[in-house]
Amino acid sequence: MGEYVIKLPDVGEGVAEAELVEWQVKVGDLVREDAVLAAVMTDKATVEIPSPVDGKVIWLGAEIGDTVAIGSPIVRLEVAGEGNVKAGDAPEAKPAKQEEKPKAVEPVEAKKDEPAPKPVATAPKPAATRALSGAPRAEGEKPLASPAIRLRAREAGVDLRQVAGSGPAGRITHEDIDAFIARGPQPAGKSSGLVQNNDVSEIKVVGLRRKIAEKMRISKSRIPHITYVEEIDVTTLEELRASLNKGKRADRPKLTLLPFLMRAMVKAISEQPQLNALFDDDAGVIHQHGGVHIGMAAQTPTGLVVPVVRHAEARDLWDCASEVNRLADAAKSGTATREELSGSTITITSLGAMGGIATTPVINYPEVAIVGVNKMMVRPMWDGTQFVPRKMMNLSSSFDHRVIDGWDAAVFVQRIKALLETPALIFMDN
Amino acid sequence: MKEISCKLLVIGAGPGGYVCAIRAGQLGIDTVIVEANKPGGTCLNIGCIPSKALIHAAEEFEKATHFADGASPLGISVSAPKLDLAKTIAWKDGIVGRLTGGVSGLLKKAKVKVVNGWATFRDGKTVEVETETGTQIIRAENVVIATGSVPVELPFLPFGGNVISSTEALSLTEVPKTLAVVGGGYIGLELGIAFAKMGAKVTVVEALPRVLATYDAELTRPVTKRLAALGVTVLTGAKAKGLSAKADALLVETADGKDEKIVADKILVTVGRKPQTAGWGLEQIDLTMSGRFVRIDDQCRTSMRGIYAIGDVTGEPMLAHRAMAQGEMVAEIIAGHKRSWDKRCIPAICFTDPEVVSAGLTPDEAKAAGTEVKIGMFPFTANGRAMTKLGEEGFVRVVARADNHVVLGIQAVGQGVSELSAAFGLAIEMGARLEDIAGTIHAHPTQGEAFQEAALKALGHALHI
C-alpha cells in the first residue's frame, strides 16, 4: 500500500489560490480514478477536482470555505502499490505554494515513477480518528458516559439516550449535558401536536454567498444610502411595448420593460453624468464614466449575480433587449464569464412580479446609484374629473448620499419618470 | 417486647446489607439491620477475607519451602520451614474479628440499629426476629432482603465428618495429608491451591472438560500449568459418586468411565453456591422469582412494593462488590434520589495462583454479541517488573470494538493481577478507548505497563514486543 498526495491543480491562468466550496468525498471513502473529489471556486469559475488514481481517502487538507494555494496538498489517498509520497515526507508538509510550479493540471502525476515509498509510517492518524468521533449511536446501543455523567443525568432527569455525545467515540461529556439541559424541557406537545424545534444547523457561508455577503457589508457599511421612491404611469409605455412586440421582426427578441428603462437611464445620465460613476472612497476619487454599463441584478439558483449590459449608450432598444436576454440566460446557466459579470457603472434591480410596492435597493459598490423596479399594477388614478384605471409602477432608487445630493437624485428619477410616461421622448434626439 | 418501627429494615448484614444500612444511615434514614451471626456475612466471616488470609499464608509457606529446596534463583536458602495451621487460623480469625468489629463500629457511627437474631417475614411490612431475649417485631416502610447465599450440598456427599464446605476448610487446624476437592471452580481451586502449598496432596475432581470453565481456556492455561507444578492432580470430565464405605476416600467415575477411589482425609465440596431463599418467610410474601433467585428490576425492586432485594439472593454474579453497589444504590433510592443500575462491568477475580481477572466482555462474548473486535494481548514475559517478581507467567488482554476502539473487556492472568482490576473497571466504566489507555502514562516498572502495552498491541503498535 502506498500513499498518494493530490495537490490543488492550476485551475486557470494567473490564479494563485482558490476557495474550496465543496467536498464530494470524506475520509474513508473509496474513490475511482476521475471521480470528483472537490470543487473550488476562483473569481472566475467553479472547477471540479478529479482524482487521478483509484484509492481510499485518508486525509482531507482543507475545510469548506478555506482558501487553498495552488499546489497545496488537498487530499491524501491510500493506494494499491506505490504512491507518490517519499518515505519521511511529513504529512503536515506545508502548502507547497512557493516551490511548486503550477505546470500541469495534476502536477503530482509526474512523480509517479519515484522509488516505492515507505507506507503507513506517515499515515496521518488524527484524521482517521476524527472521522470516528461523534459517530451516531446505532439503534438500541447504550450511550457511552462515565459514572459521574450518568449520575448527573439521572439527578437532572435527563435520558442519556436522547443526548448526543461529542466526545471520542460519541462519549457524552458534561458539556453535552449542559447543552441538553440548556435547551430546556421538551414539551409533550400531545394536545396540539406541535413541538418546539430547537435545531440549530450551521451553514458555512462560502463561495458565491460569501462574496455577496462581503459586497453587501461593504456597501451598507460605507455608503450612506438615500432611497427615493416615485410612481410612474406606464400605461402609454405598455401600449407602445405591446404594439412593438406585435409588429416585431421574427429575429428580434420580445421586448420587456427593461430595455425602455435602460434607454431612459442613458438619456437621463447624458444630462446628469455624475450618476454614472464609481466612487473610489479610499482614494477620494470619483471615476465618472462616459460609457453606460448597466448591471442587472439577477437571481440564479446559487444566488445573486449582476451581469452587465455594456455600453448601453451605444445600443438601441432591440439591441438592449437581446443583450439582456443573452446575459440572463448565461447567468442562470452559470456560463457567464467574469467580464460579463463585472464592470457595471450603474445597476438596475428588479424582482419582477415579486417586486412589491417599494424596496430599499443596496448600491452595487462602488457605484453611486441603483434603480429598483417594483411591481406594475393597475391602480385607480384621478385624472382631474374621475378615477381612471392606469398601469402604475414604482421605481425605488438608492443613491450614495456622499456624492449625490437628494435634489440631484430627485431630478434624475423625475427625468426617468417623464421619459417613461411619454416614451416618445426616449427616442427624440435633443 | 416492644415493637420497632422504622423507615428501612435490612435483613442480613453481609457486604450488601451493611453497606445499604450505612449509606441509609448517612442519608438520615431511620434504619434497622437484622443479622443472626456476626456482621460481615459470608464475605468477612467465611468467604473472601478468611480465604485470602489463608491463601497468603500458604503462599508464604510455599515460598519458604521453595527456598528450603535450595533451588531458588534468588539465592535465598532457609532450613525446613514449619507451618502451625492452628496459629495461622488464629491470625486469620484476628483479621476477621477486626473487620467485623469495624463494620459494627461503622453501623453505629451511621446510627443504624442492629438487632441480632433470625428474621422471618410475617407480611410485606412486618418482620419477626428471634432474638436471645425473645421475639422482636419490626415494622418497616421499606425492607431490603440481603440474605445472601450458601454452599450447594451434594445429596450423595452431605456435609459432615470429613466432607466439608469452604466454611470448615477455612477453620481446619491441621493440614490434611490428602484433600479431594469436588468442583474445579474458583473457590475449589483457590482453596485447593492453598492446601497444596501447605503440603496437602490435592486432587481436584471437575465434571466439565476443564477447570475454571466460566473463563476461556487461554486465560486459565497458566493456572492449569501451575496446578501441575504444585503436584495437584486434576481430573476433568470426572464425576464424584460418593464416599467410600470407610469414609476415607472419594469414589469417582473418571472421564473414560472407570471407577476410581481417591484416598482423602478431607473432601472439600465446592460445586457452587445457591441463594438463601429458605427460612426467612419468602412464602409469606410470595415474591416473583427468577429461577432460584428473587427477581429484581434495575432498581433492585422486587414484585412487592417497598421490598427490595440485593446481593447473592438476586442472582449472578454472586460477588460482594456487586452486592455493595446494589446496597448503596437502594439506600439512595429509598432516600428519594434518582438511581438505577447502570454499571457497565462487574470485575471478577480468582485468587488462584496465578490470579485471574476478568472485567467486561471476553473476546468470545463480544463476538457472540455480534461485535467486530480488536484484541491486544501482552505477555508478562516481556514485562520487567514481572520478571523481577519471578512472575512471568500470564498476560493482559484487551478487547475493544473494531470500529471506534471503545474497550469492551479486559482480562489478565498472572501474579498479583487482582490489583489491576481497579484500572480495568475504571477504564470500562469511563468508556475508555484503546487510545485513552495507550495514551495514559503507566508507571515503570510495574505490571500495569502490560495493560498499556496490550492496548497499544490492539492498536497495532506495541512497543515492547
Domain count, chain B: 3
Kindly state whether residues B243 and B368 are assigned to the same domain: no
Using the predicted structure, report yes or no on whether residue B79 has a pLDDT greater than 90. yes
Which of A151, A158, A166 best probes binding to B when mutated, by most B CB atoms within 10 angstroms?
A151
Cα three-residue angle A389-A393-A399, rounded to 5 degrees: 155
Question: Who wins on pLDDT, A136 or A321?
Answer: A321
Cβ-based burial of B148 (10 A; exposed 0-12, middle 13-18, buried ≥19): buried
- If pLDDT is split at 50, 70 and 90, which confidence band does A116 have? very low
Q: Could B429 and A147 be called an inter-chain contact, meaning their C-beta atoms sit closer than 8 Å?
A: yes
User: Is position B108 within any domain?
Assistant: yes
Kindly state whether residues B242 and B258 are assigned to the same domain: yes
Kindly state whether residues B264 and B310 are assigned to the same domain: no
Answer with the one of B255, B271, B287 that is the final residue of a domain.
B271
Kindly state whether residues B328 and B370 are assigned to the same domain: no
Q: Residue B400 maps to which CATH number?
A: 3.30.390.30
Q: Could A168 and B430 be called an inter-chain contact, meaning their C-beta atoms sit closer than 8 Å?
A: no
Residues of each annotated binding site of B for FAD? 52, 147-149, 312, 318-321
Average pLDDT value over all residues in chain B: 96
Q: Which among B339, B342, B405 has the least Cβ separation from residue A169?
A: B405
Q: Could A157 and B338 be called an inter-chain contact, meaning their C-beta atoms sit closer than 8 Å?
A: yes
Using the predicted structure, report yes or no on whether residue A121 has a pLDDT greater than 80. no
Average pLDDT value over all residues in chain A: 82
Pairs of residues, one from chain A and one from chain B, whose beta carbons lie less than 8 Å apart: 35
Q: Could B435 and A168 be called an inter-chain contact, meaning their C-beta atoms sit closer than 8 Å?
A: yes
- If pLDDT is split at 50, 70 and 90, which confidence band does A136 have? low
Residue A56 φ/ψ, nearest 5 degrees: -115, 130
- If pLDDT is split at 50, 70 and 90, which confidence band does B13 have? very high
B15-26 and B320-334 helices, crossing angle to 10°: 30
Q: Which among A129, A145, A155 has the least Cβ separation from residue B431?
A: A145
Chain B positions touching A132 (Cβ under 8 A) are 403-405
Tell me which chain A residue has its CA closest to the CA of residue B404.
Answer: A169
CATH class of the domain at A135-189: few secondary structures
> For the segment B365-388, what is each residue's pLDDT rounded down to a tens digit?
999 999 999 999 999 999 999 999
Question: Who wins on pLDDT, A334 or B191?
Answer: B191
Place of cell 410596492: A357
Read off the C-alpha cell for A361.
Answer: 435597493
- If pLDDT is split at 50, 70 and 90, which confidence band does A321 have? very high
Kindly state whether residues B118 and B12 are assigned to the same domain: yes
- The CATH number of the structural domain formed by A2-132 is 2.40.50.100
Tell me which chain B residue has its CA closest to the CA of residue A129.
Answer: B404
Kindly state whether residues B353 and B319 are assigned to the same domain: no
Kindly state whether residues B137 and B219 are assigned to the same domain: no
Tell me the average pLDDT across A223-233. 95
Using the predicted structure, report yes or no on whether residue B255 has a pLDDT greater than 80. yes
Confidence (pLDDT) at A34: 80
Residue ranges of B 125-164 with Cβ closer than 8 A to chain A = none
Using the predicted structure, report yes or no on whether residue A134 has a pLDDT greater than 70. no
Confidence (pLDDT) at A112: 43
Tell me which chain A residue has its CA closest to the CA of residue B339.
Answer: A154
Using the predicted structure, report yes or no on whether residue B234 has a pLDDT greater than 80. yes
Cα gap A29→B207, rounded to integer Å: 53
Kindly state whether residues B363 and B247 are assigned to the same domain: no
Q: What percent of chain B has pLDDT over 90?
A: 97
Confidence (pLDDT) at A124: 39
CB of B218 within 8 Å of a chain A CB? The answer is no
> For the segment B292-338, what is each residue's pLDDT rounded down to a tens digit?
999 999 999 999 999 999 999 999 999 999 999 999 999 999 999 99
Catalytic residue among B337, B405, B442, B444: B444
Confidence (pLDDT) at A39: 84
Which of A27, A122, A125, A132 best probes binding to B when mutated, by most B CB atoms within 10 angstroms?
A132
| Residue A66 identity | D
Kindly state whether residues B183 and B263 are assigned to the same domain: yes
Tell me which chain A residue has its CA closest to the CA of residue B461.
Answer: A121
User: Is position B411 within any domain?
Assistant: yes
User: Any idea which residues of A carry the catalytic annotation?
Assistant: 401, 405
Which residue, A259, A260, A292, A261, is CA-closest to A275?
Answer: A292
List, by residue range, all CATH 2.40.50.100 domains of chain A: 2-132
Which of A1, A146, A152, A155 best probes binding to B when mutated, by most B CB atoms within 10 angstroms?
A146
User: Is position B61 within any domain?
Assistant: no
State the nearest Cα–Cα gap between B332 and chain A, in angstroms: 11
Confidence (pLDDT) at A22: 83
Kindly state whether residues B255 and B179 are assigned to the same domain: yes
Q: Look up residue B105 and give its DSSP letter.
A: H
Q: Could A155 and B342 be called an inter-chain contact, meaning their C-beta atoms sit closer than 8 Å?
A: no
State the nearest Cα–Cα gap between A169 and chain B, in angstroms: 6
Structural domain that includes position B253:
163-271
**3-state helix/strand/coil string of chain A:** CEEEEEECCCCCCCCCEEEEEEECCCCCCEECCCCEEEEEECCCCEEEEECCCCEEEEEECCCCCCEEECCCEEEEEEECCCCCCCCCCCCCCCCCCCCCCCCCCCCCHHHHHCCCCCCCCCCCHHHHHHHHCCCCCCCCCCCCCCHHHHHHHHHHCCCHHHCCCCCHHHCCCHHHHHHHHHCCCCCCCCCCCCCCCCCCCCCCCCHHHHHHHHHHHHHHHHCCEEEEEEEEECHHHHHHHHHHHHCCCCCCCCCCHHHHHHHHHHHHHHHCHHHCEEEECCCCEEEECCCCCEEEEEEECCEEECCEECCHHHCCHHHHHHHHHHHHHHHHHCCCCCHHHCCCCEEEEECHHHCCCCCCCCCCCCECEEEEECCCEEEEEECCCCEEEEEEEEEEEEEECCCCCHHHHHHHHHHHHHHHHCHHHHHCCC
Q: Could A155 and B405 be called an inter-chain contact, meaning their C-beta atoms sit closer than 8 Å?
A: no
Using the predicted structure, report yes or no on whether residue A4 has a pLDDT greater than 90. no
- If pLDDT is split at 50, 70 and 90, which confidence band does A44 have? low
Using the predicted structure, report yes or no on whether residue B252 has a pLDDT greater than 90. yes
Q: Could B338 and A146 be called an inter-chain contact, meaning their C-beta atoms sit closer than 8 Å?
A: no
Least reliable range by pLDDT among A155-169, A268-282, A310-324, B61-75: A155-169
User: Is position B73 within any domain?
Assistant: no
Question: Who wins on pLDDT, A249 or B353?
Answer: B353
Cα gap A162→B290, rounded to integer Å: 31
Tell me which chain B residue has its CA closest to the CA of residue A146.
Answer: B430
Which of A142, A171, A174, A176 best probes binding to B when mutated, by most B CB atoms within 10 angstroms?
A171
Tell me which chain B residue has its CA closest to the CA of residue A137.
Answer: B404
Residues in a beta bridge with A230: A395
Evaluate whether the domain defined by A207-427 bears CATH number 3.30.559.10: yes
CB of B433 within 8 Å of a chain A CB? The answer is yes
> For the segment A393-430, what is each residue's pLDDT rounded down to a tens digit?
999 999 999 999 999 999 999 999 999 999 999 888 75
User: Is residue B240 within 8 Å of residue B263, measured between CB atoms?
Assistant: no
CB of B299 within 8 Å of a chain A CB? The answer is no
User: Is position B77 within any domain?
Assistant: no
Least reliable range by pLDDT among A42-51, A254-263, A329-338, B216-225: A42-51
Longest Cα–Cα distance of chain A, Å, equals 95
User: Is residue B134 within 8 Å of residue B118, measured between CB atoms?
Assistant: no
Kindly state whether residues B128 and B205 are assigned to the same domain: no
CB atoms within 10 A of CB B199: 16
Cα three-residue angle B277-B281-B285, rounded to 5 degrees: 100
- For residue B327, give the 3-state DSSP assignment: helix
State the nearest Cα–Cα gap between A6 and chain B, in angstroms: 27
Q: Could B404 and A170 be called an inter-chain contact, meaning their C-beta atoms sit closer than 8 Å?
A: yes
Chain B positions touching A170 (Cβ under 8 A) are 404
| Residue A286 identity | I
Using the predicted structure, report yes or no on whether residue A36 has a pLDDT greater than 90. no
> For the segment A79-109, what is each residue's pLDDT rounded down to a tens digit?
877 777 765 454 444 444 444 444 444 444 4
State the nearest Cα–Cα gap between A117 and chain B, in angstroms: 20
pTM for this predicted structure: 0.61
State the nearest Cα–Cα gap between B349 and chain A, in angstroms: 22
Q: Could A169 and B431 be called an inter-chain contact, meaning their C-beta atoms sit closer than 8 Å?
A: yes
User: Is position B295 within any domain?
Assistant: yes
> For the segment A152-210, what is each residue's pLDDT rounded down to a tens digit?
898 888 888 888 888 888 889 988 988 888 877 654 444 556 777 878 888 888 888 88
CB of B339 within 8 Å of a chain A CB? The answer is yes
List, by residue range, all CATH 4.10.320.10 domains of chain A: 135-189
Confidence (pLDDT) at A13: 60
Read off the C-alpha cell for A55.
Answer: 484509492
User: Is position B339 within any domain?
Assistant: no
Cα gap B58→B66, rounded to integer Å: 12
Tell me the average pLDDT across A126-149. 62
Q: Could A157 and B433 be called an inter-chain contact, meaning their C-beta atoms sit closer than 8 Å?
A: no
Which runs of consecutive H residues, i.e. helices, occur in B110-261?
166-169, 186-197, 217-229
Kindly state whether residues B135 and B281 are assigned to the same domain: yes
Confidence (pLDDT) at A430: 59
Question: Who wins on pLDDT, A370 or A33?
Answer: A370
User: Is residue B377 within 8 Å of residue B454, measured between CB atoms?
Assistant: yes
Q: Residue B185 maps to which CATH number?
A: 3.50.50.60
List, by residue range, all CATH 3.30.559.10 domains of chain A: 207-427
User: Is position B83 within any domain?
Assistant: no
Q: Look up residue B390 and give its DSSP letter.
A: T
State the nearest Cα–Cα gap between A145 and chain B, in angstroms: 6
User: Is residue B312 within 8 Å of residue B276, measured between CB atoms?
Assistant: yes
Confidence (pLDDT) at A168: 83
| Residue B248 identity | D
User: Is residue A7 within 8 Å of residue A73, measured between CB atoms?
Assistant: yes
Residues in a beta bridge with A178: none
Q: Could B404 and A146 be called an inter-chain contact, meaning their C-beta atoms sit closer than 8 Å?
A: no
Q: Could B406 and A129 be called an inter-chain contact, meaning their C-beta atoms sit closer than 8 Å?
A: no
Numbered residues of chain A with Cβ closer than 8 Å to any chain B Cβ = 129, 132, 135, 142, 144-147, 150, 154-155, 157, 168-171
Cα three-residue angle B119-B123-B129, rounded to 5 degrees: 20
